[in-house]
Amino acid sequence: MSDRFEQIKARSEDIRNTTFQEFWAEVVGCSDLVKQIRSPKRRLWLTDVIEELWQQQKGKCALSGEPLEPNFEVDHIIPFSYGGGNERGNLRLVDRDSNRRRGNRGTDPTELLRYLEDAYMNR
């Protein structure tokens, strides 16, 4: 009985992983389409945007929660590489090291899909 349970459990995990990988591939494909339609540009950050984010985050890194170092960076929550834009709601201040470790990993596919849908509908 235990062996059968373990087999079913393992098969279930395989199906979940495969489904997630297929879903993620579709979401990344959507991000490529939105980037072609919208093509957001990188920009220099305005002082008031940085000050506003600093106040909202109370001078702490959005990823680690530690006080921001002088070399902090403006980070896109939905990465620029997935079509994330420069709107304030998609920005946060992070320490350089935390930002480098994150890269564009850690993006929730459901959040990305929701963002892309909104970007497409409001182009």
Helix (H, G, I), strand (E, B) or coil at 76: strand
Q: What is the pLDDT of residue 40?
A: 60
Q: What is the pLDDT of residue 123?
A: 67
End-to-end CA distance of the chain: 56
Q: What is the pLDDT of residue 57?
A: 96
Rg (CA), the chain: 19
* Residue numbers of the domain that contains 68: 2-121
Whole-prediction pTM: 0.66
Q: What is the pLDDT of residue 81?
A: 82
Q: What is the pLDDT of residue 27?
A: 79
> Length of the chain, please?
123
Q: What is the pLDDT of residue 41?
A: 65
When divided into structural domains, the chain yields a total of 1
Question: pLDDT tens track of the chain, all 123 residues?
Answer: 678 778 877 888 888 888 888 887 887 887 787 777 766 665 666 788 899 999 999 999 998 999 998 989 998 888 888 888 888 888 999 999 888 887 667 788 888 888 888 877 776
Of 46, 113, 63, 53, residue with least CA distance to 84: 113
Give the C-alpha separation, 111 to 70, whole Å.
30
Of 73, 86, 74, 92, residue with least CA distance to 115: 86
Beta bridge partners of 75: 92
Q: What is the pLDDT of residue 36?
A: 77
Residue 65 amino acid letter: G
